[in-house]
Structures are given as C-alpha cells and as structure tokens.
Structure 1
Amino acid sequence: MPQIYFDAATKGNPGESSCSSVIIIENERHYFTKNIGVMDNHRAEWEALIFSIQNAIDLNVKNALIYTDSKLVGDSIEKDFVKNEMFKCYFNEFKQLERAFDLIFVKWIPRSQNKEANQLAQQALRKKLKSKK
C-alpha cells in the first residue's frame, strides 16, 4: 500500500511556512514541496495534509497509509471531529478528498519517524527565507 509522509515548517508562529510530502509507491519515492505563506504551525500542518492528498490523487493513488507527526491533525482525523473552528475548513476538505480513495488511513508517528518529510519542509522554508533577503 502506498505510504504518504508529510510535514510543515514555520519560521515564527505565525510566520512564513512551507510544507512537503514524500509519497512512496512500490519503493519509488515522489517528493513534493510548497511554500504556503504566513500562518501558524497548526494551520501549516493541515495545509500539508491537503497538499499531500492532492499529490497522491494526481499520482492515481487509491489506497494510502498517511503518516503525520502532528498530534492535532492525527487526533482530529482519528476522532472524525475538529473542535477549533479555524481548522474545520481543512477537515471538511479532507473529508471531500478522501472520497477519491478506496482506502485511506491517517496515523500519528513521532517526529523521529518523519525525518524525510521534515527535512524537505525545512529545506523549502530556508530556500524561501533566503530568497526574501
């Protein structure tokens, strides 16, 4: 089953943010990064989830294990509920996008198991901040 790892990086809170995803399909890795503007780190994690799912759909992924080191995102998906009004639009977008899949699981993992996506997001953020100087 394809695996999707995603993460976000934010300089400040709120601050300039980037996100990344690593999509592994049959041992082939697909890398994606995006600068997502100024936002807080929680919003950036939601943006990273949506970005990653959209990339998976573009790659015609129908079944996926999605891994996140964001407790907020992982818990919200697991409980099928978002308390904070600010994140409901992301949760609703996730619910719409998940319809493109036959099977999809979102699982929280420790940051130490999400190093590749984290490094990609940090690298994209550093590049963006450097270009602003």
Structure 2
Amino acid sequence: MPQIYFDAATKGNPGESCCAVVIIIDGLRHQFTKSLGLLDNHRAEWEAFIYSLEEAKNLNVKNALIYTDSKLIADSIDKNYVKNKAFKPYFEQYKSIEQKFDLIFVKWIPRAQNKESNHLAQAALRKYLKNK
C-alpha cells in the first residue's frame, strides 16, 4: 500500500508557511513541496494534508496509509469531526477528497519518524524566505 508522509513548516505563528509531501509507491519516493502563504501552524498542517491527498490522486493512488505528526489531524480523522470550527472547511474538503480513494488510513507518528517530510518542508520554507 502506498505510504504518504507530510509536514508543514511555519516561520512565526501565523507566518510564512510551506509544506512537503513524500509518497512512497513500490519503494519509489515522490517528493513535493508547496508554498502556502501566511498561515498559523495548524492551518498549514491541514493545507499540507489536503495537498498530500491531491498529489496522491495525481499519482493514481487508490489506497493509502498516511502518516502525520499532527495530533490535531490524526484525532480529527479518527473521531470523524473537528472541534474547532475554523478547521471545519478543511475537514469537509478531506471528506470530499476521501471519496475518490478506495481506502485511506491516517496514523499519527512521532515527529522523529516524520523526518524526511519535515526536512523537505523546512528546506522549502528557507528557500522561499530567501527568494522573497
């Protein structure tokens, strides 16, 4: 089953944000980064999550095991709701995209196990801020 790792990096809170996604399919790694603009860290994580799903669909992924170090996102998906109304649009967007997959599992992992996407997000943010 394809594995998806994502993370966001934010300078300030709110602040300039970027995200990174690593999708592993049959041992092959696909890496993506994106500038997100001015966001708080929670919104940046939600944006990264949605971006990871969009990139997975672009790679024709039907089933995915998604890893995140965001307890907020993992808990929201696990409980099938969001407490904070500010994140409801993201959750609704996830529910819409989820229907395009056959199967999605979202699993929380410690930050130490999400190093690749974290480093990519941090590098993308440094590059973005340097070129701004």
With normalisation by structure 2, the TM-score equals: 0.99
Matching residue of 1:122: 122
Amino acid at match of 1:93: Q
Matching residue of 1:58: 58
Instruction: Specify the SS of the correspondent of 1:73.
Output: helix
With normalisation by structure 1, the TM-score equals: 0.98
Q: Which runs of 5+ in 2 are unaligned?
A: none
Amino acid at match of 1:124: A
In 2, Cα distance between equivalents of 1:20 and 1:96: 22
Equivalences, count: 132
Matching residue of 1:96: 96
In 1, Cα distance between equivalents of 2:100 and 2:29: 21
Q: What's the CA shift for 1:119?
A: 0.3
Q: CA offsets per residue over residues 45-74 of structure 1, 9 Å max, x none?
A: 000000000000000000000000000011
Q: What's the CA shift for 1:125?
A: 0.2
**Identical residues among aligned pairs (%):** 70
Matching residue of 2:113: 113
Which of structure 1's runs of 4+ aligned residues deviate more than 6 A?
none
Instruction: Specify the SS of the correspondent of 2:99.
Output: helix
Q: What's the CA shift for 1:93?
A: 0.3
Matching residue of 2:67: 67
In 2, Cα distance between equivalents of 1:26 and 1:100: 21
